[in-house]
């Protein structure tokens, strides 16, 4: 199987490239050589690579900057994925795409399920919601996984930032009024690989198998927590604890740290649907964090 992987250098794509290697030949592309906001380039790439599957792990992920770089965020997160899905549909190529918990407003008091109505409170969330809609409207064969609070040993993420602060400061204040599911990018890559392996053991061609399962699925570490508790676990599991300067994590509130983009107060996702539909195991967020640290 030939897999066109978009967003090669991102934290999720990096894990996907390695995890999917036993399943297929990966053709990785990334900005600036490949620009998902350029329809011509998508067409040329898809038509010349002729993949059996396209995985889009690219995105405009700077939540705060998206408030001002609106056109760019729309082009990368909404229009581009829509064009990609349309072009793939014209060649009967299935698509896997990723979205976010930030499509929800955070007003719910229990984990969000796929049938809950999205209502993003920041521009990034709006662009990702438009991207979901564009992909689902343009093709009949697509899986969209909504992820949350993604981290890995590479890229820009909260776990790495916290460890960096822990090496510099004795006291770190972290908000305890934002709740979500920390999710290791390697777990998402492994779950994606396991779902693809399941498809390959079916009698249906991949396009039809994905068509049969078309839709949005929540895919995160199981269980949820707030950023303060998450930080305490990062510190507890840190491999180089003795070299860290940190002495204490203190609770803070979101209002203490104003940011250009609002964050949903509660964006925990319920992953029952993905577990019911596919044969995947979802380790707890603590187990994922421990494994990431051990790596």
Whose CB is nearest to ligand NAP?
Answer: 10
In angstroms, the CA 147 to CA 145 distance is 6
Give 10 or 94: the residue with its C-beta nearer to ligand NAP.
Answer: 10
Residue 156 Cα distances to 9, 82, 263, angstroms: 11, 26, 17
In angstroms, the CA 132 to CA 230 distance is 28
CB of 55 to ligand NAP, least distance (A): 10
Residues that bind ligand NAP (CB under 6 A): 6-7, 9-12, 30-31, 34-37, 57-61, 76, 98, 100, 128, 147-150, 155
In angstroms, the CA 228 to CA 182 distance is 12
Q: Which residue has the tokens 């979205």?
A: 99
Give 58 or 141: the residue with its C-beta nearer to ligand NAP.
Answer: 58
Give 31 or 235: the residue with its C-beta nearer to ligand NAP.
Answer: 31
In angstroms, the CA 59 to CA 72 distance is 10
Give 66 or 206: the residue with its C-beta nearer to ligand NAP.
Answer: 66
Neighbours of 268 (CB within 10 A): 25
CB of 36 to ligand NAP, least distance (A): 4
State whether the Cα torsion 174-226-220-264 is positive or negative: negative
CB of 247 to ligand NAP, least distance (A): 28
Give 155 or 205: the residue with its C-beta nearer to ligand NAP.
Answer: 155
Taking each helix axis from N to C end, the angle separating 185-200 and 285-294, rounded to the nearest 10 degrees, works out to: 100
Residue 16 Cα distances to 6, 27, 140, angstroms: 10, 12, 23
CB of 263 to ligand NAP, least distance (A): 11
CB of 35 to ligand NAP, least distance (A): 4
In angstroms, the CA 85 to CA 93 distance is 9
Of the listed 60, 98, 124, 217, which one is catalytic? Answer: 124
- For the record, the structure tokens of 216 come out as 């949005």
Known catalytic membership, residue 151: no
User: Which residues does the annotation mark as catalytic?
Assistant: 124
């Amino acid at each position: 199987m030939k897999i066109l992987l978009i967003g090669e250098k991102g934290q999720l794509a990096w894990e996907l490239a390695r995890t999917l290697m036993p399943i297929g030949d990966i053709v990785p592309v990334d900005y600036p050589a490949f620009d998902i906001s350029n329809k011509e380039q998508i067409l040329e790439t898809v038509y010349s690579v002729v993949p059996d599957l396209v995985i889009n792990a690219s995105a405009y992920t700077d939540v705060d900057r998206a408030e001002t770089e609106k056109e760019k965020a729309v082009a990368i997160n909404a229009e581009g994925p829509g064009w990609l899905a349309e072009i793939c549909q014209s060649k009967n190529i299935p698509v896997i795409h990723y979205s976010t918990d930030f499509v929800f407003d955070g007003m719910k008091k229990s984990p969000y399920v796929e049938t809950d109505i999205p209502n993003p409170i920041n521009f990034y969330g709006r662009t990702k919601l438009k991207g979901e809609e564009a992909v689902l409207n343009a093709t009949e064969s697509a899986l969209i996984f909504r992820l949350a609070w993604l981290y890995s040993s590479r890229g820009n993420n909260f776990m790495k930032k916290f460890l960096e602060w822990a090496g510099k400061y004795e006291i770190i204040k972290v908000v305890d009024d934002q709740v979500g599911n920390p999710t290791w990018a390697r777990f998402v890559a492994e779950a994606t690989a396991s779902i693809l392996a399941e498809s390959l053991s079916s009698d249906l061609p991949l396009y039809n198998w994905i068509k049969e399962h078309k839709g949005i699925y929540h895919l995160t570490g199981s269980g949820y927590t707030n950023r303060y508790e998450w930080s305490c676990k990062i510190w507890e599991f840190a491999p180089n604890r003795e070299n860290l300067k940190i002495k204490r994590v203190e609770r803070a509130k979101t209002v203490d740290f104003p940011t250009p983009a609002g964050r949903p107060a509660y964006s925990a996702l319920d992953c029952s649907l993905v577990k019911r539909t596919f044969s995947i195991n979802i380790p707890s967020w603590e187990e994922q964090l421990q494994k990431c640290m051990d790596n």
